[in-house]
């Protein structure tokens, strides 16, 4: 029996659950379990044991074995594919390099480890180097984009830190794995380790500044006298059209699935946006210059 492993970590700073088997990881793991062979086992591990139990109850009996592991080490032992998504860089380090972490699992050069969190490139390269030295497997930064909606629909984008090469059997394996959770045409192999993370930081910086600009502009347009529905149609058919407009629309009643049309229920928690914008600003300061708009 082959084994897949999906694990995560919820934040512990008073906010509600965000990752692992939370807003993103729960749906990602769900698509894995649905699309994997029913003979293969899916191992899950999260600091929120209630989420693990709920996942096992919701999906385990229907699609194949779901096993709950007590630690990242236990979850990875025997697994050929490892997928993780956690809130911050310190969580990634704890999962992979900490006590009872991935690095303590038996070595396996054929193991694929896909780390889907949005973190800094320095941590990405540090974790990869230590896992490679320990022979744990092939580690790739594979951050996702598309938000909770993309995770729910199975339409996520994956930005993978490995050189583009369609004939590379490792890339073929990665593509087959992530296509269970996203769209094959939205999987991009970005280059050496860390480039997937760099691409995600740039993307999230654009999304954040676009959201701010959109909110200000739509508010100004409505106050200038144009009906919100007409303004929305004008922007949709013009150069202001964007993913942010269609999914994070700040004005209620225009996009049914947007948070604004659902009591402003957060799908991407504010502290995560602060983290991502901070990543962009700090990365730019370290290697280039200040990002005036993002800052």
Among residues 186, 200, 228, 275, the one annotated as catalytic is 200
Single residue among 144, 169, 193 that ends a domain in this structure: 193
Q: What is the pTM of this model?
A: 0.87
Helix axes 270-287, 195-223, angle to 10 degrees: 120
Q: What percent of the chain has pLDDT over 70?
A: 90
Cα Dmax for the chain? 65
* Distance between CA atoms of residues 151 and 288, nearest Å: 33
Shared domain check, 108 and 44 = yes
200 part of the active site: yes
Helix axes 89-97, 121-134, angle to 10 degrees: 0
Q: Cα 59 to chain center, whole Å? A: 21
Shared domain check, 123 and 167 = yes
205 is in which domain, residue-wise?
A: 199-270
* Distance between CA atoms of residues 16 and 268, nearest Å: 11
Give the pLDDT confidence of 127-142 residue by residue, as tens digits. 999 999 999 999 999 9
Helix axes 195-223, 121-134, angle to 10 degrees: 150
Q: What is residue 152's three-state secondary structure?
A: helix
- Residues counted in the chain: 295
In a domain, 234, yes or no: yes
Burial code (b: 16+ CB inside 10 Å, e: under 16) for 224-245 equals: eeeebeebbeebeeeebebebb
Rounded mean pLDDT, 172-179: 97
- The CATH number of the domain where 123 resides is what? 3.40.50.720
Note the pLDDT of residue 290.
57
- The residues, ordered by sequence, that sit 6+ positions from 143 with a Cβ below 8 Å of its Cβ are 116, 117, 118, 158, 159, 196, 197, 199, 200
Note the pLDDT of residue 10.
35
Give the pLDDT confidence of 235-286 residue by residue, as tens digits. 999 999 999 999 999 999 999 999 999 998 877 777 777 888 888 878 777 7
Give the pLDDT confidence of 85-116 residue by residue, as tens digits. 999 999 999 999 999 999 999 999 999 999 99
């Amino acid at each position: 029996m082959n084994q897949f492993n999906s694990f995560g970590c919820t934040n512990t700073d008073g906010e509600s659950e965000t990752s692992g088997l939370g807003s993103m990881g729960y749906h990602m793991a769900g698509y894995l379990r649905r699309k994997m062979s029913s003979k293969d086992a899916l191992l899950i591990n999260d600091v929120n044991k209630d989420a693990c139990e709920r996942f096992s109850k919701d999906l385990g009996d229907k699609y194949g074995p779901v096993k709950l592991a007590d630690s990242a080490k236990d979850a990875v032992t025997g697994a050929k594919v490892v997928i993780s998504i956690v809130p911050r860089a310190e969580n990634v380090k704890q999962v992979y390099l900490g006590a009872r972490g991935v690095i303590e699992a038996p070595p396996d050069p054929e193991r694929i480890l896909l780390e889907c969190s949005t973190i800094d490139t320095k941590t990405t390269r540090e974790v990869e180097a230590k896992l490679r030295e320990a022979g744990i497997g092939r580690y790739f930064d594979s951050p996702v984009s598309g938000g909770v909606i993309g995770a729910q629909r199975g339409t996520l984008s994956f930005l993978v830190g490995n050189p583009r090469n369609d004939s590379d059997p490792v890339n073929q394996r990665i593509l087959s794995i992530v296509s269970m959770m996203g769209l094959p045409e939205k999987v991009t192999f970005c280059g050496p380790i860390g480039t997937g993370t760099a691409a995600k930081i740039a993307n999230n910086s654009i999304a954040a500044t676009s959201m701010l600009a959109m909110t200000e502009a739509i508010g100004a347009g409505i106050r200038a006298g144009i009906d919100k529905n007409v303004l929305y149609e004008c922007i949709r058919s013009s150069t202001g059209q964007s993913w942010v407009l269609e999914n994070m629309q700040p004005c209620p009643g225009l996009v049914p699935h947007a948070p604004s049309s659902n009591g402003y229920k957060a799908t991407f928690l504010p502290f995560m946006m602060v983290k991502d914008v901070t990543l962009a600003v700090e990365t730019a300061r370290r290697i280039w210059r200040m990002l005036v708009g993002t800052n």
